Amino acid sequence: MIGELPPLQWLLTFRAVMETGSFVGAAKLLNLTPSAISHQMRALEGTLGRPLFLRVKRTVIPTEEALTYSASIGESFARLVTATSRVASGAGVRRLPIHASPSFATLWLVPRLGQFLREHPAIDIALYASHEPARLGQDGILVDIQYARPVPESCEAVPLVEELIVPLASASFVAEHRLTAPADIARVPLIHSLRCVVPWDQWSARHARLVPLNPRGLQFDRAHLALAVAADGLGLALESTLQAGDHLRRGTLTMPFGPLGIPAVAHRLLYRREDRANPEIIAFVDWITGMLAQERHSEWR
pLDDT at 1: 46
- Per-residue pLDDT tens for 98-119? 999 999 999 999 999 999 999 9
Residues 6+ apart with CB under 8 A from 64: none
Q: Biggest alpha carbon distance in the chain?
A: 101
For residue 231, which of 297, 180, 294, 173 has the smallest C-alpha distance?
A: 173
In angstroms, the CA 197 to CA 218 distance is 17
Query: CA 164 to CA 265: how far, in whole Å?
Result: 9
For residue 124, what is the enclosing H or E element?
A: strand 123-129
| pLDDT tens digit sequence for 61-87 | 999 999 999 988 888 887 787 667 666
Instruction: Write down all domains in the chain, each with its CATH number in brackets.
Output: 2-89 (1.10.10.10), 94-161+266-295 (3.40.190.10), 163-264 (3.40.190.10)
pLDDT reported for residue 178: 96
How does pLDDT run across 193-230, given as a tens digit for each residue? 999 999 999 999 999 998 999 888 899 999 999 999 99
How far apart, in whole angstroms, are the C-alpha atoms of residue 152 and residue 285? 18
Helix (H) or strand (E) holding 67: helix 64-89
Put simply, whether the predicted model's pTM sits higher than 0.85 gets the answer no
> In this model, does residue 142 exceed pLDDT 50?
yes
Burial of 210 (0-12, 13-18, 19+ CB in 10 A): exposed
Residue 146's DSSP bridge partners are 268
